[in-house]
Amino acid sequence: MRRRDVPNGDEGLVPVVLASQSPRRRDLLTLVGIAHEVRPANIDESYLAGEAPRAHAERLARGKAAAISAPDAVTIGSDTIVVIDGEVLGKPRDETDAARMLSRLSGRSHTVVTAVAASWAGRMLSDVEEVAVTFRSLSAADIAAYIATREPMDKAGAYGIQGFGATIVERVDGDYFAVMGLPLNRLARLLESLGLVYAFGPLRARQRDGTE
């Protein structure tokens, strides 16, 4: 899938800025026809004392959307974390850490928490999607071979469901796209609540009479 840039000269269209460097989020916006510009946000992603995983993900999504200055555009921020037994699994530090994470997820269910925020015309809305994901049992050889692909090394929980990781996932209970990193249905509802029209393509502002 190719990235679409914000079209020039299309009167009435609302530009979109994705505050993320994730190729998967770029691909998903492109998949549903939302033209966009990529401007990654650089924010502190450290946990606050006592912060719950869901609250953490939503705070970061909102922080990313707020960090980009684009007065005339819709800014979209998102954050995804993996949680098992109450522990958040971030991106692995190294191959040993990746192996530890995958061993822990092997043959079990965990929760993927993805928050999304959208900011436009002085308003910001956000929401969170939680999805249960179940892995098949993995042998030490499976884990070593998967790590050798390098796919796990830049992903929360040390796996990517849209790549080789698809073959180790037995079940997804919830929004598959949230596991990829952007809950598209929830995003579309947020955009609608902000007064934007998504008609299966680029965004337009809803007029006061309710039309595009």
Would the pLDDT of 7 be above 70?
no
154 is catalytic: no
In this structure, what are the phi and psi dihedrals at residue 97, rounded to the nearest 5 degrees?
A: -65, -40
| Whole-prediction pTM | 0.89
Out of 5, 79, 94, 173, the active site residue is 79
> In terms of residues, how long is the chain?
212
Q: Is the pLDDT confidence value at 134 over 60?
A: yes
- CA 48, 51, 57, 59 dihedral sign is negative
CATH architecture, domain defined by 16-203? Alpha-Beta Complex (3.90)
- The answer to whether residues 56 and 47 touch, using CB atoms and an 8 Å cutoff, is yes
Mean pLDDT (the chain, rounded): 93
Is the pLDDT assigned to residue 23 strictly greater than 60? yes
Q: Which of the four pLDDT bands, split at 50, 70 and 90, describes residue 10?
A: low
Segment 55-101, tens digit of pLDDT: 999 999 999 999 999 989 999 999 999 999 999 998 999 999 999 99
